[in-house]
Structure 1
Amino acid sequence: MEQLIKDKILEVEKRFHVKVLFAIDAGSRAWGFPSQDSDYDVRFIYIHQPDWYLSIDQQGVGTKQNVIELPIDEMLDMSGWEITKALRLFRKSNPSLLEWLRSSIVYYEKYSFIEDLKRLEPMVFKPSTCLYHYMNIAESNYHEHLQGPIVKAKKYFYALRAALACEWIEKYKTAPPVEFKMLLEDILPDGELKDEIEQLQKRKMEGDELDTESRNTIIDEYLESELERIEAYSKRGKAPAGDPTPALNALFRSTLMEVYPSS
């Protein structure tokens, strides 16, 4: 599959006349709890040739779309953001993009863009933005998918990962790691709750995406109490001072010159 993904990246570059800067997995494989039949969620950032930017039409308008999406099949979901779209989202401390930067599964990386982007993260990281993002994920999965007597195991992990990510942000004031295991080991002490989660994780990884479980009272109690506490804490987040736009503009221009030095 990894070779197929790399072939698809080359196909994207040729078909759309762009250069891919990096591509990662952004789904359950990167999170560390895939099922046996989990698909591959590939996300990438790309850059057009200079002439694409030197025109009167704005990116994202008309034929100048700033997203590339390949047809989804049973095993591969692949889409990417154009660099200026990615940088604008980065400026807003977009949690999904921050996760892309932390994915442990990197299918492709070229040029200095990603390392330069990572160095700018302290200028843009907003704890409140990320807290609301993960809190909403935890709440929606818990209240919408984990209330019946029988539930999908993966919904527990979506809710748990998001709740633990909130606790990480509260503890460290930084974007959380992608891997569920890192969050679990750092945030939860050894004990009954952690044991229950680890056993559930083992069963999920040995099964398939549609595997179901009876509701787990121990995990439910943790989620209910944490969601209430996190909601109160989330109102205290502070945004970073200063405007990162000049630095992001400079990064865009330097990347454009690095990728297309003769233009």
Structure 2
Amino acid sequence: MDRTIVAEIDGRLADIKRHHNVSIPLAVESGSRAWGFPSPDSDYDCRFVFVRAVSETFTLFPERDVIETPLTPILDVNGWELSKALKLLLKGNVVVVEWLTSPLVYQCNSDFRAAFLEIAGEVADRSLTARHYYHLAANHLDRFLSAEEDVPLRKLFYALRPLMALKWLEENPNSVIAPMNFPSLCAGVPLELSVLDTINELMARKAETRELGNGPIPLPIRAFLTAEFPRMQFWKDGVQERRPGSERLLDAFWREWTHRLAPGE
């Protein structure tokens, strides 16, 4: 992590808090750096959760529930209002859960993060989480597995990570939140040594070069994808099984933390 860029991110977050009169109880890295397979030129994808002043929350004419900053070749910094994050969590969007489990943290209220993770574990829907990961994997694998020509090798990671998340959920039937970090996912599922060695080699190469280039899918990975992806088809049409009282729990969480974190008027 480049200290100069991290300092620029901190500066942007400070400007957001000042210009928008919000608090930011959580700001994390959410891209390939947090996933565990960065390249030397990977950009920085900072995502944050923000809370507005109480008077700006209880209004008929609310501000947007997203705050965005200018995109640069190096920086992508934007965030969601707490209410938006909670509503998307209930719909099966795993993005906010991954923010909560990111290993790279810029700013954090530890009590808020722990409480958010706890309630996410209570209300997140396992079948919708798995469906989300299935479709992420399918978006890439439908192209890769039918391709007769070379594929962008770096794109393999964007198919492998959600597929590993599905395998991790399969190995942990009582869990609804899979690790965000790709090496942690790989460590938590049974893999053939040839598959793991090939993944580790590709990650090492990706960490050292700006572009892996195109090439054939390595045979151990192709065999793994061909065997595992069709087996995960049963997640494709996951139906929400919302736990009774989920809305009430999230509403109470939102009210409590809005009052605890809201900036002064």
**TM-score relative to the length of structure 1:** 0.90
Alignment of 1:23-172 (within 5 A): 23-57=27-61, 59=62, 64-110=63-109, 112-145=111-144, 147-172=147-172
Which residue in the other structure is 1:206 paired with? Answer: 208
Q: Distance in 2 between matches of 1:22 and 1:257?
A: 16
The runs of 5 or more residues in structure 1 that have no matched partner are: none
Indicate if the aligned counterparts of 1:68 and 1:80 stay in contact, CA closer than 8 A: yes
**Cα gap change, 1:243 to 1:162, in 2 (>3 Å):** same
Which residue in the other structure is 1:247 paired with? Answer: 249
1:100 deviates by: 0.7
Larger mean Cα displacement after TM superposition, 205-214 or 235-244: 235-244
Which residue in the other structure is 1:259 paired with? Answer: 261
**Cα gap change, 1:123 to 1:214, in 2 (>3 Å):** same
Percent identity of equivalent pairs: 29
- Partner letter of residue 157 of structure 2? F
Q: Distance in 2 between matches of 1:224 and 1:189?
A: 14
Alignment of 1:164-203 (within 5 A): 164-173=164-173, 174=175, 175-203=177-205
- Partner letter of residue 255 of structure 2? R
**Cα gap change, 1:93 to 1:114, in 2 (>3 Å):** farther
1:236 deviates by: 7.0
**Cα gap change, 1:223 to 1:211, in 2 (>3 Å):** same
**Cα gap change, 1:14 to 1:231, in 2 (>3 Å):** same
The runs of 5 or more residues in structure 2 that have no matched partner are: none
Deviations 1:215-248 (Å, cap 9, x if unpaired)? 2222112112211100135557773531222222
Cα RMSD over matched residues? Answer: 2.1
Indicate if the aligned counterparts of 1:112 and 1:255 stay in contact, CA closer than 8 A: no
Q: Distance in 2 between matches of 1:82 and 1:236?
A: 27
Indicate if the aligned counterparts of 1:163 and 1:227 stay in contact, CA closer than 8 A: yes
Q: Distance in 2 between matches of 1:236 and 1:12?
A: 38
